[in-house]
Amino acid sequence: MQGYYGKAKENVSLNEKSVKELITCTGENPNRQGLKKTPQRFISAWNYITSGYKKNAKQVVNGALFDAEDSSMVIVKDIDFFSTCEHHLLPFFGKIHVAYIPDKKIIGLSKIPRIAEIYARRLQVQERMCAQIADAINEVLKPKGVAVVVEGIHTCMVIRGVQKVNSKTITSTMLGAFKQNMETRSEFLSLIK
């Protein structure tokens, strides 16, 4: 997947001319004072919004793995995220909750939100993002289990389409002990409420 996304990113040539054309198509004048620098600002913002394509979990972890004393569940909850819906190019945002059960190693706590950020900063669907975060943590840490729950508000549902302002989408991915053991899964879900 990384190779595919990396290649797709290389093929995208975002330039001021194409942004000006987009502004013109909306019926605006791209040379109007308030819009003159919009193409540059948009390109800069878009590069940041999609910066996850330039990173991978192993780079982010950068060896921040430490010996574990025991195998107690570790939870990092309420991680804010901002992503972009690949279907409408509109933002979705919310909270990510991550847990893992160590198997001889723990990870630096700040690395979990950083891993989540890699996958949020791409054109996404929430279901895939949730699974990618779980898979990445599972791959770099090799724990007994990983659980990820994502709560998202999708502006493609809020500001257009069905226009349901209070709707929230919840997705989950459970791996290892969280998938196999109902008690472990229930403990995690009760702790993130």
pLDDT tens per residue across span 3-13 = 444 444 443 45
Q: What's the pLDDT score for residue 87? A: 96
Active site residue 97: no
For residue 160, what pLDDT is reported?
A: 87
pLDDT in tens, 66-105: 999 888 999 999 999 999 999 999 999 999 999 999 999 9
- 25 as an active site residue: the answer is no
Cβ density class 136-158: b for 16+ within 10 Å, e for less: bbbebbebbbbbbbbbbbbeebb
Among the listed residues 97, 124, 126, 130, the single catalytic one is: 126
Can you give the residue ranges of every domain in the chain? Answer: 2-49, 63-191
Residue 153 and residue 142 in contact, taking contact as beta carbons nearer than 8 Å? no
Catalytic residue among 28, 88, 127, 187: 88
Annotated catalytic residue, options 2, 40, 59, 87: 87
Give CA–CA dist 101/178, Å, rounded: 9
Q: Is 86 a catalytic residue?
A: yes
- pLDDT score of 13: 54
DSSP 34: G
Provide Rg for the chain, Cα atoms. 19
Catalytic residue among 2, 40, 59, 86: 86
One of 16, 28, 127, 156 is an active-site residue; which one? 156
d(CA 143, CA 50): 29
pLDDT tens by residue, 116-145: 999 999 999 999 999 999 999 999 999 999
Decide which of 3.40.50.720, 3.40.1160.10, 3.40.50.1000, 3.30.1130.10 is the CATH code for 63-191. Answer: 3.30.1130.10
> What are 35-65's pLDDT values in tens digits?
999 999 999 999 999 999 999 999 999 999 9
The pLDDT score that the predictor gives to residue 116 is 98
pLDDT at position 24 over 70: yes
Task: Record the pTM.
Answer: 0.89
Looking at residue 1, what is its pLDDT? 38
pLDDT at 161: 83
Give 147's strand partners. Answer: 99, 174
Give the span between the Cα atoms of 156 and 58, in whole angstroms: 32
Q: What is the DSSP letter of 148?
A: E
